[in-house]
Amino acid sequence: MKPSSSTSEHGARSPGERSLWGALFTDPDVEAEVCDRAWLRAMLDFERALAIVQARAGIVTEEAARMVVTAIDVGHYDPVAIGEGSLTSGTPVVPLVRAIGAHVTAEGRAALHNGATSQDVLDTALSLVASRALRPILAGLRAVAAECERLAERHRDTLIAGRTLTQHALPTTFGLKCAGWLVAVDEAVDALTRVREERLAVQFGGAAGTLAAVPRGGDPTGQLAAELGLAAPLIPWHTNRTRVAELAGALGAASGVLAKIAQDVALLAQTEVAEVAEADGGTSSAMPHKHNPVRAVLVTAATRRVPGLVATVLAAMAQEHERAAGAWHSEWQTVTELLRLVGGAVRGTRELLSRLRVDPERMRRNLDLTGGLLMAENVAVRLADRVGRSEAQELVAEVCRTAVAAGRPLRDALLADLRIGLSEQELDETLDPAGYTGGAGEFTDRALAAHRGRERR
C-alpha cells in the first residue's frame, strides 16, 4: 500500500515552525510530516479525494469536483487562521471547509465535504499524517537495525560481563547484547509496518456513522481509501479506536526498544565501567573533562515522555455512543507528539550507534573485577556430578564468601579448600570466561541470519 505523496505547499515546513528544543528531540523528516501544515495538507487531501471519488460515482458533477480540486490545489490556507476559527466548532474542519468554499461557486460547494462529517476528515488526516511520518521513522529504524547488525557481527566473540540487577552475573558477549537490540528493533519494525499497511484506514461514515446523506450503491469508502492509499475499514470506526490504539502501542513499543539501547549505552559508558563511549559531543558547561553520553541521554529523555502519551490514547478509547465528547479530540496532538518523539529517538539512536566506540580490552579487564566470582556457577556445574547439584551450590557459595571475606581471588580460595578437589589445570579451564558463554555465539548468528533473511525479502 502506498499512501498519497502529495507535495503541495501545504506540506512545506516553514522556518517559523522551528523551536528551541526541535533539534534535540525531533527528526526534520518526521517533523515535516507532523507539523501543522502537514495536518492541513492531510485534511485537504481528504476533501480533494472525496470530490474526485464522488464525481466518478456520479454523485456530484465533474465540473463541481474540478472546482473543489482547483480551490484546494491553488488556494493558500493558513493553519493559524484555520485554528483560530476552530473555537466555535471545536475542530478545524468547519473553518477549513468554509475557506475552501469561498473559492468556488454554489455548484462547487455542492461537491465540497459532501456527506462527510468533521471526524471523517480528521480521522483520515490522522491516518495520513501517521502513514507519512512512519515512512522516515521506519527507514530510521532499519538504519538502527543495520548498526546493530554491524556491531553484533564485529563483536560476536567479544567477551563482556553479563549483568543482572546491575551486578556481574556471568560472562556473555557484546555481540549477543547487540543481537538482542537487533531482534527487538526488527520486531518494532514489523509492528509499525503492520499498522501502517493494514490498520491506518480512511474514515467515512457521515454524521452518525450511517452515511445517510450519500446515495447507496458502489463502495465509496473503498474508493476513497484507494485514492488516498489507506486501508478500507469494514464499517465506519468513529468510536472504535482500536486502530489509533494499535498505532500508539506500536510507537510505544518502538520507543521502549530505543530506550533500552540508550540505557545500556549510558550504563556501559560510566567512568567506572568505560566499556563504550560516544565518539563525539558530550561537552559540559562547567567541567572541561566531561565526555557525556549526550545522544543516549537525549534518546532517554524523549522516550520517557512516550508512555504517558500512549496512556492518553488508551484512556481515550472509551467514547460516548456515536461521537466522543472530548476523548477523540485528545488524540490529535497526542498522536502527533508520539510520532515526533519516536522520530527524534530513532534519529538519536542511529547517530549514537553509528559512532559508538567499543573497548574490548576494557570489557575483558572488567570481567576480572570480582576476582573470578562471576565464574562460580561453572565451578558448581563441574562439582555437581560428584557431590550433587544442591550440595555443589552450597559448597561453592561458602568458598565465595570466604574469598570475599579474605579479599582473595576465587581461584586461590578454591585451591585452598580440600573439598573442591579440582586440579590447577581444571580450575583454570573452569574459571576461563571464554569457555562459559553458552550459546552466545549461536544466538548471535541466529539473530543475524534472521535479520539478513528479512532484508532479502
Integer Cα distance of 435 and 100 in angstroms: 72
Cβ atoms 203, 237 nearer than 8 A? yes
Question: 368-395 burial, b if ≥16 CB within 10 A, otherwise e?
Answer: eebbbbbbbebbbebbeeebeeeebbeb
Cβ atoms 342, 363 nearer than 8 A? no
Instruction: Please pick, among 98, 150, 163, 323, the residue that the annotation labels catalytic.
Output: 323
Cβ atoms 296, 263 nearer than 8 A? yes
What letter represents residue 359's amino acid? Answer: D
Instruction: Please pick, among 14, 19, 284, 390, the residue that the annotation labels catalytic.
Output: 284
What letter represents residue 388's amino acid? Answer: G
CB count, 10 Å around CB of 184? 20
Integer Cα distance of 379 and 381 in angstroms: 5
Cβ atoms 376, 430 nearer than 8 A? no
Task: Please say if 323 is a catalytic residue.
Answer: yes
287: region left, alpha or beta (phi > 0 left; psi from -120 to 50 alpha): beta
CB count, 10 Å around CB of 267? 15
CB count, 10 Å around CB of 116? 25
Question: 284-308 burial, b if ≥16 CB within 10 A, otherwise e?
Answer: eeeeeeebebbbbbbbbbbbeebee
H-run or E-run covering 173: strand 167-173
Q: Please state, in angstroms and as integers, the Cα–Cα distance from residue 200 to each residue in 87, 124, 224, 379, following that order.
A: 28, 8, 13, 55
Task: Please say if 446 is a catalytic residue.
Answer: no
Query: What does the DSSP 8-state code read for residue 233?
Result: P
CA distance from start to end of the chain: 16
3 state DSSP class of 1 = coil
Environment class of residue 439 by beta-carbon count within 10 Å: exposed (0-12), middle (13-18) or buried (19+)?
exposed
Active site residues: 284, 323
